[in-house]
Amino acid sequence: MLKNLVDLVDLVAKEIIMQEKIEERHKEITHIQNTIWAAYKDFLVDQNVKAYTQKMSLLTKKYQEKGDLLLKSFAENEAITWCPVINEFAEEFRKGKG
């Protein structure tokens, strides 16, 4: 009976730890997506591709410096996914200024 109780306590402890890890990842993923969205919104206002690119670089650098290569890769892939959108708008902005 005591063994079963110890196993149950161990299982609950592992579940709590896993839930904490999930919550922390969720916060980091939300941060990445919100940072990219804010950079996109800023780009629509200032039309500055260089500033947008710098913000993306700083975002990925943050996770590189933390040693979190999974989130660094996620941030890089999200930034790459946004490239066609940014490039299309940049082209439109150039045409509008010309």
Give per-residue pLDDT as tens, 34-65: 999 999 999 999 999 999 999 999 999 999 99
Angle at 54 between CA 82 and CA 22, to 5 degrees: 60
Ranges of H-type helices in the chain:
2-46, 49-65, 69-97
Spatial CB neighbours of 33, under 8 Å, sequence gap ≥ 6: 78
Dihedral sign of CA atoms 88, 72, 32, 25 in order: positive
Taken in order 42, 44, 47, 49, is the CA torsion positive or negative? positive
pTM (two decimals): 0.82
